[in-house]
Structure 1
Amino acid sequence: MDKRIGDKTLVEWEQAEPIVKEIREKRELLWLNPRYGERDAGLVTTRDVADAEARLHRFKPYLATVFPETEQAGGLIESPIYTTAKLQTFLGEEAGTRISGRLMMKADSELPVSGSIKARGGIYEVLKTAEKLAIDADLLRESDDYAMLAADSFKQFFSRYSIAVGSTGNLGLSIGIVGATLGFQTTVHMSADASAWKKALLRKKGAFVKEYAADYSVAILEGREQAALDPRCHFIDDENSKDLFVGYATAGNRLKKQFYEQGIPVDADHPLFVYLPCGVGGGPAGVTFGLKQAFGKYVHAFFVEPTHAPCFLLGLLTGLNDRVTVRDFGLDNRTAADGLAVPRPSALAGKAAGHLISGCFTVADARLFRYLKTLKDTENHWIEPSAAAGIAGPQMLLGSAAGKNYLEKHHLTEKTADVTHLFWATGGGMVPQTNREAYYAQASR
């Protein structure tokens, strides 16, 4: 008997959802989310995000003290936005489709401290954990100057506790760096696809790295189980953490402020399309939640995944969220985009933000390397392969039947000349130069 995936066999899924056959054949495609616009499940609230914003504000003096790269911004961990007109021209010429409107890059590859989108959620959850421990021990009050947390006495206090995480790379990097800086005993359980340089950097920063020969699903399971044996260990769970989610969500109001400062409108006549690389889904889902708070119905978020590992797409398509893996559909989860090499999606992300996501793209690894090289050649920005996934968004939206259907359904076809396309460059700021050159060389072959 064929294995059942939820309430259907694989053959039945292909019959019910013809796009499943294309997914299984590892084709690049755009899937439109029929749940888009459904009622909010209420798992995360605007108050949750406001609390996160206030907490990050309290920590600014500490961050400015221990991470000099944030001093000029007063301890704010935020990334710039860039207009990428030369890249836009290239994409239009490559596809034979005019990319109308404005193309921009949200450079989370340049986020201070850890150089990736994970600096948002990962660092936030570590800071929240530290704050709670210190307040519960009567060592800190919310009205205090948090720069005091940099003192050796606090490092000694936090050294009595531990933090653990399972990661393909970037989440572990952000948590490992800030956790070790605070003084926590920090363990990062890393999957086989994690880059060697990320493991080396974590060890250099004082974190313990535990390596696995298996993929992300094994690393996070082992990390979760081992952390549960230690009552003084806080496990940061990329598949289920609300704190990670709201940390990412703070990006929404920050982007709104950046757009305002640059005179970029987002309204009924100037829609915003955002393309977010997706692994387990927590980061892009949290960002999408924040974007919807900031811009409402005028922002349209699309997730972009490797053709070999579209776990979030399959979670939404089947409605099974974390109860499905790419291997159920015959896919191997093998991709050079280490941050996106995830076989099973986050349960929380799908339930909290599944109704906010317009659709999902899939892209081949070859495209990731080609766009990594093109971004460097046209705009002089270095990113890592996974961060290049979103660059495919405008081509596929404007040049595909599904994309044109989406524009028509939402009365956007006549507004494409005034749209802003924003690809979220999720990481790459800390990639060693030798690795960058190797990525570039691979794309040049």
Structure 2
Amino acid sequence: MTKTTEQWINEHPLIQDMVELKETQWFNPGVTTLEEALPFVGLNQDDINDASARLVRFAPFIKTMFPETESSNGIIESPVRAVPAMQSVIENRYSVKLPGQLLLKLDSQLPISGSIKARGGIYEVLKHAETLAINAGLLTEQDDYAKLTTDEFRQFFSQYSVAVGSTGNLGLSIGIMSARLGFKASVHMSADARQWKKDMLRAHGVEVVEYESDYSIAVEEGRRQAESDPTCYFVDDENSTNLFLGYAVAAKRLRKQLDEMEVVVDKDHPLFVYLPCGVGGGPGGVAFGLKMAFGDNVHCIFAEPTHSPCMMLGVYTGLHDEISVQDFGIDNITAADGLAVGRASGFVGKAMERLLDGYFTVTDEEMYCLLALMNRHENIRLEPSALAGVPGIARVLSEEEGYKARMDFSEDQLNNAIHIAWATGGNMVPMEEMRSYIRKGRDYLAVEMAH
């Protein structure tokens, strides 16, 4: 950094709140239309369609290998549901009137790895496997991909390895799928990764390499080791377009789900989607897909922990991956392990900055409180990071920075709006661990009541 923190704060006053770990929000004055912003992404609808078709080809393999996907015929997808009780809890909690409807997209229930990472991570491994098998003359796109479950293919894939750096959930999705195909899989885990995630990976025969430091070091080390091995494929969470496209497929399917629920999205019924953000690949890919599915009628907003606001910092300063939260003395230590990232993806920030309406941060304590409340009022169990997007509806409807005025939302539009909080993970959390999350949330709520 060429400037002092003081100079930065003078030019970008919100950094002061970030440094003080206060909950903050920034609505992006540079947001523009899809038509104007699309050329900066470098991808289009054809790319999403290609990814979607690939997942359909793999469905027979997935259905055979993962019986939990039987009912969806090998398609990995999650439900979306209204959470009216939680909507009134949020209304009371933040003392703000919340017209419109709040829905929860339950990626916490995605089969195989129980988080949003089952989209991008699994997709990238499958694409790599397909490419290897087709190049070796073992597979054509016309084949029944159930044949990938045979010993011949396991033998073939066992000559290759797959590596990734992760805070937890991406590692689970990539490790589990790679091992099941027959690859040698290694996951480089940062210090904040939960023990149960490491244990689960090892139980699937995945090598787990542990680091005392944070996410970017785990990624760097994983990348370095993969470079020295020509048979090793490194999944680059910071820059991968394949991950990004795997996530983007979600939007097309969400559109179908909303149609089935008779939920209308158009100019008079805008859609607001709140996406928890770590390095940015997952929420960036989903947001890109949403923009392609709903155009300018969807508004995507990223949610980050107060201790790790890397994407907000990167886009707000315009420096993207050239700046980290640690540069300002922010510790990047958060209970939202999947979001514990100090430096944002340069690819996602630069590709998507014109398509994202805003960013906000949430304290760890608040995520725990919301976790306990979600369990109590909706009987839904999520891990802390999956609650980051839940306050989004209140942040948008109570904002006074001029965002709603700038976007020219009428009262009718806001009354008819649909809000979706993307619940990114939680289903794989061991019961004992989940109970301790809920206890912690209840303890924080009790302290609040006492005051």
For Structure 1 versus Structure 2, the TM-score category normalised by the shorter chain is over 0.9
1:284 and 1:303 in contact (8 A); partners too: yes
Q: Is the 8 A contact 1:238 1:280 kept in 2?
A: yes
- Cα deviation for residue 348 of structure 1 reads 1.2
Q: How many residues align?
A: 438
Please give the root-mean-square deviation of Cα atoms over the aligned residues, in Å: 0.9
Alpha-carbon distance in 1 for matches of 2:41, 2:317 = 21
Taking structure 2 as the reference length, what is the TM-score of the superposition? 0.96
Partner-residue secondary structure (3-state), 2:177? helix
The 10-residue stretch of structure 1 (241-250 or 393-402) with the greater mean CA deviation from structure 2: 393-402
C-alpha displacement at 1:9, in angstroms? 3.3
Q: Is the 8 A contact 2:41 2:352 kept in 1?
A: no
For 1:273-352, what aligned pairs fall within 5 Å after superposition?
A: 273-352=272-351
The residue number in structure 2 matching 1:382 is 381
Q: What is the match of residue 366 of structure 2?
A: 367
Structure 2: runs of 5+ lacking an equivalent? 444-451
The 8 Å contact of residues 55 and 128 in structure 1, kept in 2 or not, is answered as yes
Aligned to 1:222: 221
Q: Counterpart in 1 of 2:251?
A: 252
- What does 1:112-151 align with in structure 2 at a 5 Å threshold? 112-151=111-150
Query: Deviations for 1:366-388, whole angstroms, at most 9, x for unmatched residues?
Result: 01000011111111110000000
Q: Which moved more, 1:351-360 or 1:260-269?
A: 351-360
Could you tell me how far 1:103 is from its partner in structure 2? 0.5
Gaps of 5+ in 1: none
In structure 1, the residue corresponding to 2:105 is in which secondary structure? strand
Relative to structure 2, which stretch is displaced further, 113-122 or 34-43? 34-43
Q: C-alpha separation between the residues in 1 aligned to 2:329 and 2:280?
A: 20
Pairing 1:130-279 to 2, within 5 Å after superposition: 130-279=129-278
- Tell me, in whole angstroms, the C-alpha distance in 1 between the residues paired with 2:167 and 2:31: 29
- Please list, as runs of the form range in 1=range in 2, the aligned pairs for 1:379-418 lying within 5 A after superposition: 379-402=378-401, 405-414=402-411, 415-418=413-416
Mean Cα displacement is larger for which, 277-286 or 314-323?
314-323
In structure 1, the partner of 2:446 is none
How far the C-alpha of 1:110 sits from its partner, in A, is 0.3
The match for 1:440 is: 438
Q: Is the 8 A contact 1:44 1:352 kept in 2?
A: no
Query: CA shift at 1:246, angstroms?
Result: 0.5
Partner residue of 2:18 out of 19, 23, 26: 23
Q: What corresponds to 1:69 in structure 2?
A: 68
Preserved CA contact (<8 Å) 2:12 2:317:
no
Partner of 1:32: 27
Instruction: Measure the CA separation in 2 of the matches of 1:71 and 1:443.
Output: 35
Letter matched to residue 187 of structure 1? S
Q: After TM superposition, what 4+ stretches of structure 1 lie above 6 angstroms from structure 2? A: none
Instruction: Give me the whole-angstrom Cα distance separating, in 1, the residues matched to 2:46 and 2:322.
Output: 29
The equivalent of 1:90 in structure 2 is 89
Kept after mapping to 2: 8 A contact 1:311/1:325: yes
Helix, strand or coil at the partner of 1:78: coil
SS of 2:429's equivalent in the other structure is: coil
1:166–1:172: 8 Å Cα contact kept in structure 2?
A: yes
Q: Residue 321 of structure 1: CA displacement?
A: 1.2
- The C-alpha deviation readout for 1:287-306, integer Å capped at 9, x for no partner, is 00000000000100000001
SS of corresponding position for 1:210: strand
- 8 Å contact from structure 2 (residues 37, 355) kept in 1: no
- CA shift, 1:201, in A, is 0.2
- Residues 24/413 of structure 1: CA separation in 2 closer, same or farther (3 Å cut): farther
CA contact (8 A) 1:165 1:235 kept: yes
SS at match of 1:391: coil
The alpha carbon displacement at 1:169 in A equals: 0.1
Q: CA deviation at 1:406?
A: 1.4
Deviation at 1:10? 2.2
**What amino acid does structure 2 have at the position aligned with 1:106?**
K
* Structure 1: distance between partners of 2:317 and 2:93: 33
* Mapped contact 1:240–1:347 kept (Cα < 8 A): yes
Name the counterpart of 1:430: 428
Paired with 2:282 and 2:292, the residues of 1 have a C-alpha distance of 16
1:23 maps to amino acid: M
The equivalent residue for 2:46 is: 47
User: What is the Cα deviation at residue 247 of structure 1?
Assistant: 0.5
| Aligned equivalents of 1:264, 1:444: Cα separation in 2 | 34
Supply the distance in 2 between the matched residues of 1:34 and 1:15 (Cα, whole angstroms): 19
Cα distance in 2 for partners of 1:226, 1:36 equals 39
Structure 1 counterpart SS, 2:185:
strand
Q: Could you tell me the TM-score, scaled by structure 1's length?
A: 0.97
* Aligned residue type for 2:43: V
Displacement of 1:35: 2.4
SS in 2 for 1:213: coil
Say if 2:120 and 2:243, in contact at 8 Å, map to a contact too.
yes
Aligned-residue offset at 1:143: 0.1
Deviation at 1:131, TM superposition (A): 0.2
Counterpart of 2:107 in structure 1: which amino acid? D
Aligned residues of 1:192 and 1:212 also touching (Cα < 8 A) = yes
Query: In 1, Cα distance between the equivalents of 2:7 and 2:407?
Result: 30
Contact 1:286 1:353 in 2 (8 A): no
Q: Which whole-Å CA distance do the structure 2 matches of 1:413 and 1:330 have between them?
A: 41
Report the alpha carbon displacement of residue 429 of structure 1 after superposing the two structures with TM: 0.9
Q: For 1:356 and 1:263, how far apart are their aligned partners in 2? A: 26
2:9 pairs with 1:14: yes
Deviation, structure 1 residue 328: 1.0
Question: CA offset at residue 276 of structure 1?
Answer: 0.4
Partner Cα distance (1:28, 1:429) in 2: 27
The amino acid of 2:100's aligned partner reads: G
Query: Which letter maps to 2:433?
Result: N
Give 1:413 shift.
3.8
In structure 2, distance between residues paired with 1:312 and 1:251: 21
| Kept in 2: contact 1:191–1:213 (CA 8 A) | yes
State the partner residue of 2:447.
none
